[in-house]
Homo-oligomer: A and B are copies of this chain.
Amino acid sequence: MVRTAESRERERSAREARANDFRILSEENTMSTQFRKHSNTNTQQRPKQPRRQHPGRNNGPTKLEIIPLGGFSEVGRNSVAIRCEDEIVILDLGLMMDRYIEYTDSDDLVEISGRKLIEIGAAPDVNILGKEKKNVVGILLTHAHLDHIGAVPYLANRFDCDIHATPFTTELVRRMYEDERRHPRGRLVAHDVNDRFVLTDKIQAEFISVTHSTPQTVMILIHTPYGKVLYCNDFKLDNNPTLGPKPNYARLRELAGTVDYLILDTLYAEHPIKTPSEKIAEEMLKDVLLGTQSKGAKIIITTFSSHIARLRAIVNVAKMMKRKPVFLGRSLRKYVEAAQDVGIADFSDVEIVGYGNKVKPYLKRIKNPERYLFVATGNQGEPKATLARIVNQRLLPLTDNDIVIFSCKMIPVPVTIENRKRLENELQAQHVRIFTDIHVSGHGAREDHRDLLNTLKPKHIIPTHAEMKGLGAFKELALEVGYKPEQIRIVRNGERVRVK
């Protein structure tokens, strides 16, 4: 086929929309990468590690093992495989967002390839599975953040199996395939939180409800004849969630002492706190929005598009202020529609302008912007997202005493730091009032980890979703709780761990 100028242009614009969409979906989960350059991003080229043997154990053929594919000793592209004899399940297939964006920003890009994503360390290295890839019997997803599901459209079709997730996550995956104009090879199967389901004669999976910064997040418990592996990545222990249930403590207590390996999100293991409830963020939003002089002022709030609970809180405050809530931006539309479609939140009271090119004419038509509360994508200052476009292109002229609220944490990677600095600088030049960090995290901290360990009492733990410093802090905590060093396994991608 000869590529015409027109077809090239079509491809180019589709690619841009795609890249931009992903960029503004980037979540708080893609944390500092300052140490990443020292890590081996291509595990294929790495000399094979001898498999660790535990003295005194049966050293016959391995019946059950954990195969780290991505996100171990690094932050991003989360994925792990669990092999039970000749059957494998893959848990999560996420992206390393900054590498993904850098790659998809390139003008030379025609089509995003899974092979290339793996090569640059933007996707989990599923090549680690080698010939075993034909044995994969299911892909299971914990939650709808891109560092856990973003690689699905590029890699899942390498495996002849279904994709299992909660309804909200399933709906997001369906929309991702749609956006990419790709089709999943297997079915997308939705399971409710706290459901247990059969994958094969040997493997069952259980979704255990937990809290995080996006709805219907679950821990995944893999039941096999040779033991249980619990994958808890990401999590927080929120006892006052503003949307959805509390963590399923009853089930965790039932499981006490029976889980052979816990794979655990330890991003904030070094923070000596319990991460505050989402209720605190809601109160902070109310405090700042109702307590600041805002009569006659334009107000824009930006937050994570996937954070449905936060978005609902913002809409509720808008009503208390007698302002009309309007959501501006593509990824907001995507997540909000998914939440509505699966019936976990109602946004029928919100106007959504979900196409980039509609934002400008929409804002132009508005006569009394001080009667609105705008929510825009682009909380990390991404130059192509709605907030930066509003500010830089003056789509909504901002002036003295107008208000921009960042209901998020800045992700401390160089590109974001630079983007936010530029955006805040421009806002200050326009004399806009800036409020930052009206936010609580979705990741548990040191004292959440302790409570989880004390409740669940897993036999072994593999900390993940952190760089060496966080993993070390977690290990120290586990020792304090009473674990022995050999019960805590800090591993890298590709370094298999034998369970039995």
Identify the A interface with B (CB < 8 A).
237-240, 272-274, 276-277, 279-280, 283-284, 287-288, 290-293, 400-401, 424, 428, 431, 433-438, 447, 450-451, 454-455, 480-482
Docked pose: A280 CA to B276 CA in angstroms: 11
Known: A239-B290, A288-B274. A450 touches B435 (CB 8 A): no
Residues of B within 8 A of A455 (CB): 293
Are B274 and A451 interface neighbours, CB within 8 A?
A: no
Contact call A276/B272, Cβ cutoff below 8 A: no
Knowing A401-B454, A436-B272, A450-B433 touch, does A287 contact B277 (C-beta < 8 A)? Answer: yes
A274, B293: Cβ atoms under 8 Å?
Answer: no
Contact of A451 among B293, B454, B480 (CB under 8 A): B293
Of all chain B residues, which has the CB nearest A432?
B480
Q: How far is the CA of A277 from the CA of B284 in the complex (A)?
A: 8
CB distance A237 to B291 under 8 Å? yes
CB distance from A448 to the nearest CB of B (A): 9
Q: Establish whether residues A287 and B274, one from each chain, have CB atoms under 8 Å apart when the complex forms.
A: yes
Residues of B within 8 A of A451 (CB): 292-293
Q: How many copies does the complex hold?
A: 2
Let me know if B292 and A287 touch, CB within 8 A.
no
Cα A447 to Cα B291 with chains together (Å): 10
Q: A284-B280, A436-B273 are in contact. Are A482 and B447 (CB under 8 A)?
A: no
Given known contacts A287-B276, A287-B280, A400-B482, is B435 in contact with A447 (CB within 8 Å)?
yes
Assembled-state Cα–Cα distance A117/B326 (Å):
59
Quote the shortest CB–CB distance from A202 to chain B (angstroms): 35
The 10 closest A-B pairs by CB, nearest first: A239-B291, A277-B287, A272-B434, A293-B451, A274-B288, A272-B436, A431-B480, A283-B283, A274-B292, A273-B435
Q: Give complex CA distance A277, B451 in Å.
A: 29
CB within 8 A of A239: which of B279, B287, B447, B480? B287
- Chain B residues near A238 (CB, 8 Å)? 291
B-chain residues with CB within 8 Å of residue A240 when the two chains form the complex: 287, 291
Which B residues touch A276, using CB under 8 A?
284, 287-288
Closest to A287 in B: B277
Inter-subunit contact A274/B482 (CB<8 Å)? no
A487 → B minimal CB distance (Å): 17
Task: State the CA gap A417–B174 with chains docked (Å).
Answer: 52
* In the complex, residue of chain B having the shortest beta-carbon distance to the beta carbon of A455: B293
Alpha-carbon distance A454/B400, docked complex (angstroms): 11
- Please name the residue on chain B nearest to A293 by beta carbon: B451
Whole-angstrom distance between the Cβ of A114 and the nearest chain B Cβ: 41
Q: Taking CB as reference atom, which chain B residue is nearest A438?
A: B273
9 interchain pairs, CB-CB under 8 A: A237-B291, A239-B287, A240-B291, A272-B424, A273-B435, A274-B291, A274-B435, A276-B288, A288-B447
B480-A447 in contact (CB<8A): no
- Give the distance to chain B from A278, nearest Cβ to Cβ, in Å: 10
Contacts of A431 in B (CB 8 A): 480
Instruction: Verify B283–A279 contact, CB threshold 8 A.
Output: yes
Q: Would you call A273 and B437 a contact (CB within 8 A)?
A: yes
Q: Are A280 and B280 in contact (CB under 8 A)?
A: yes
* Given A433-B447, A447-B433: A280 touches B283 (CB 8 Å cut-off): yes
Further 8 A-B residue pairs, CB within 8 A, beyond A273-B436, A277-B287? A237-B291, A240-B291, A272-B434, A273-B435, A276-B287, A400-B480, A400-B481, A400-B482
Closest-by-CB residue of B relative to A271 is: B436
Question: What residues on B are CB-neighbors of A274 within 8 Å?
Answer: 287-288, 291-292, 435
Please indicate which of the listed interface residues A280, A424, A436 has the most CB atoms of chain B within 10 Å of its own CB.
Answer: A280
In the complex the two chains form, what is the Cα distance from A324 to B363 in whole Å?
Answer: 57
Could you tell me the distance between the alpha carbons of A237 and B273 in the complex, rounded to whole angstroms?
27
Closest Cβ–Cβ distance, residue A168 to chain B (whole Å): 24
Whole-angstrom distance between the Cβ of A426 and the nearest chain B Cβ: 14
Inter-subunit contact A293/B454 (CB<8 Å): yes
Residues of B within 8 A of A434 (CB): 272
In this complex, what residue of B is CB-closest to A479? B431
Residue of A238, A291, A454 contacting most chain B CB atoms (<10 Å): A291
